[in-house]
């Protein structure tokens, strides 16, 4: 196998051809970076956290495929993934994950020791999440912690401490992750039942749509609380109103539980995260 082919397989393994996962991880991280710096982050901090997000999500995808290597072969959507199909070895997948995580850690070395310390639980969360679907009823909640840990890390890097609003922002991200990943789980519901895998879509059962919408509302309520704690103004809350409209659009997509529309709603969460971020940026720009 030549180098070009192997790199293409690594590209698929790390899901770089499907950037939605990066975006869902990046938006809350950028919320944290902008709020922690009162709208004026140092350029190198933005670069470090953006690149770190891409690297850690890619590393997590490699670990996920390793964890699910015996499950993915039974699912039509995942049976052709590089590791599951045998195009790359288990050892290769693990080495890809390790190298990406090490490069991500190297990125934060210019930051303070508190940020270094917080990178270890962040790494643990990213590596352990793929295994939680075996025993957690709602692994999506764990995903929300893993996908949101860039928030307290950004406060640690910029302020040298992690204030209460950082944890409220992380909590908001947990509920957002439950909302969007339940939409994703609604697509795979039948496969998850067959394979005995836990998901929030199965846990919520016939109340799945209601649960998604409640999680959206809790997310936006917590984001409003963060805005008050951080002294944000009108532009920020306009951003939250736009996000509310996007959440209602998702209701229109998922209410009939169509697999295609549920997946479309999941993908569209990129715009909800972007709306919140636009509100944060605009509010600080207008100060």
Residue 154 has a pLDDT of 97
Cα–Cα–Cα angle for 50, 51, 57, rounded to 5 degrees: 95
Question: What is the reported pLDDT for 86?
Answer: 73
- Compute how many other C-beta atoms are within 10 angstroms of the C-beta atom of residue 190: 10
| Dihedral of the alpha carbons of 13, 121, 225, 207, in degrees to the nearest 10 | 60
Retrieve residue 268's tokens: 């569209």
In the prediction, which pLDDT does 75 show? Answer: 65
Cα distance between the two ends of the chain:
56
Percent of the chain whose predicted confidence (pLDDT) is above 90: 61
How far, in Å, CA of 265 to CA of 109, rounded? 37
Fold of 3-286: Tetracycline Repressor; domain 2 (1.10.357)
Q: Where are the domains of the chain?
A: 3-286
Query: Which residue numbers in the chain have pLDDT < 50?
Result: none
Q: What is the pLDDT of residue 76?
A: 60
Q: Give pLDDT tens digits for 24-76.
A: 999 999 999 999 999 999 999 999 999 999 999 999 888 888 887 776 666 66
Contacts of 196 (CB under 8 A, 6+ apart): none
pLDDT for residue 190: 63
What span, in angstroms and rounded, lies between the C-alpha atoms of 56 and 283?
29
């Amino acid at each position: 196998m030549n180098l070009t082919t192997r790199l293409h397989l690594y590209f698929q393994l790390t899901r770089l051809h499907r950037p939605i996962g990066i975006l869902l991880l990046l938006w809350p991280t950028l919320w944290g970076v902008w709020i922690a710096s009162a709208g004026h982050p140092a350029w190198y901090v933005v670069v470090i956290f953006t690149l770190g997000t891409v690297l850690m999500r890619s590393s997590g995808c490699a670990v996920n495929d390793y964890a699910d290597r015996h499950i993915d072969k039974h699912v039509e959507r995942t049976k052709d993934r590089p590791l599951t199909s045998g195009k790359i070895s288990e050892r290769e997948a693990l080495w890809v994950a390790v190298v990406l995580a090490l490069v991500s850690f190297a990125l934060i070395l210019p930051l303070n020791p508190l940020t270094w310390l917080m990178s270890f639980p962040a790494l643990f969360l990213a590596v352990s999440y793929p295994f939680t679907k075996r025993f957690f009823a709602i692994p999506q909640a764990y995903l929300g912690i893993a996908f949101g840990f860039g928030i307290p890390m950004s406060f640690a890097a910029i302020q040298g401490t992690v204030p209460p609003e950082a944890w409220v922002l992380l909590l908001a991200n947990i509920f957002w992750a439950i909302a969007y990943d339940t939409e994703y789980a609604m697509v795979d519901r039948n496969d998850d039942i067959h394979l005995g895998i836990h998901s929030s879509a199965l846990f919520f059962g016939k109340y799945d749509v209601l649960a998604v919408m409640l999680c959206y509302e809790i997310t936006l309520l917590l984001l409003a609380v963060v805005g008050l704690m951080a002294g944000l103004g009108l532009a920020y809350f306009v951003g939250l109103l736009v996000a509310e409209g996007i959440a209602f659009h998702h209701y229109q997509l998922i209410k009939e539980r169509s697999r295609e529309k549920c997946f479309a709603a999941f993908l569209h969460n990129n715009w909800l995260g972007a709306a919140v971020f636009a509100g944060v940026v605009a509010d600080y720009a207008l100060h």
